[in-house]
């Protein structure tokens, strides 16, 4: 029987593995599960939850990204544009979170998760129609999936990619989620990318910016390393598992799975402050 000081690291490793597996299925990095868990079950302050979670996210996306690159499923050009644009705001987000109260942090987090859950629930298969989305200053992008050999056509818009990166970097470090909750809906709904390419590309985008957010949180003393290390170890295993299962599940299943988890996390955070009403 595991007890005493050995229980918490085991709990953290299990949490990291489970969150990373689910997150990797849809390219979200697992932070959207870890942050509510740290806030609700372990009493972490907002800045500590964000910083500690982001370590898990970094380990998760690093592990999964290598698997996705080997599978030939990452749009490296798009990942570089969005990821580089996210770097400056990833530092800013890690600094601004110190000004947020617990209630404001949880309420904003819950609202953000609910919005993205609803977005994903609506026509989850829209990205698979084969049509190129109509975006400002866009052109057609042709991408061949290295796993299936299938050729996909979707939108390529540099201005929208940069704007997505700016928003992703800030929310990534502020909430400790890696930014997948911004990237995934944008790539699915606006770029009209297939879900399997989205999940792989999203991980590479987060891999560009997350190290800078982690470094800023570490400098500010936000990271609980005793929790972050087992979380990260679990995240490495979970990232590989998620990459393995994601290519074996239909795209609509991936999207709906993450939408359900996002909604559950949103309700839990909101109920913590407003449940009695």
The DSSP H or E segment spanning 154 is strand 151-156
pLDDT of the residue at 36: 86
pLDDT of 53 higher than 90: yes
DSSP letters spanning 217-249: HHHTT---HHHHHHHHHHHHHHHHHHHHHHTTS
pLDDT tier for residue 79 given thresholds of 50, 70 and 90: very high
Rounded mean pLDDT of the chain? 83
pLDDT of the residue at 196: 80
User: 163 near 170, Cβ under 8 Å?
Assistant: no
- Average pLDDT of span 165-172: 93
Dist CA 174 CA 225 (whole Å)? 18
Q: Structure tokens of 5?
A: 């000081």
């Amino acid at each position: 029987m595991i007890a005493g000081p050995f229980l918490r690291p085991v709990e953290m490793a299990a949490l990291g593995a489970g969150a990373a597996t689910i997150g990797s299925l849809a390219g979200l990095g697992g932070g959207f599960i870890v942050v509510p868990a740290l806030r609700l079950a372990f009493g972490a302050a907002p800045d500590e939850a964000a910083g500690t979670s982001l370590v898990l996210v970094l380990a998760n996306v690093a592990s999964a990204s290598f698997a996705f690159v080997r599978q030939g499923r990452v749009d490296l050009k798009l990942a570089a544009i969005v990821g580089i644009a996210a770097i400056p705001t990833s530092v800013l987000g890690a600094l601004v979170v110190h000004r947020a109260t617990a209630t404001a942090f949880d309420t904003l987090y819950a609202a953000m998760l609910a919005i993205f859950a609803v977005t994903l629930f609506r026509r989850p298969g829209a990205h698979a129609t084969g049509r190129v989305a109509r975006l400002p200053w866009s052109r057609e992008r042709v991408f061949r999936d290295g796993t299936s050999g299938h050729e996909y056509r979707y939108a390529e818009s540099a201005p929208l990619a940069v704007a997505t990166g700016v928003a992703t970097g800030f929310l990534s470090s502020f909430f400790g989620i890696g930014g997948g909750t911004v990237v995934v809906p944008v790539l699915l709904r606006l770029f009209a990318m297939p879900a399997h390419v989205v999940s792989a590309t999203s991980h590479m985008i987060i891999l560009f910016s997350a190290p800078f957010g982690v470094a800023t949180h570490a400098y500010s003393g936000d990271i609980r390393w005793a929790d972050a290390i087992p979380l990260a170890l679990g995240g490495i295993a979970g990232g590989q598992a998620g990459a393995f299962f994601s290519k074996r599940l239909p795209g609509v299943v991936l999207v709906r799975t993450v939408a359900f988890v996002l909604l559950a996390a949103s309700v839990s955070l909101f109920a913590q402050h407003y449940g009695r009403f």
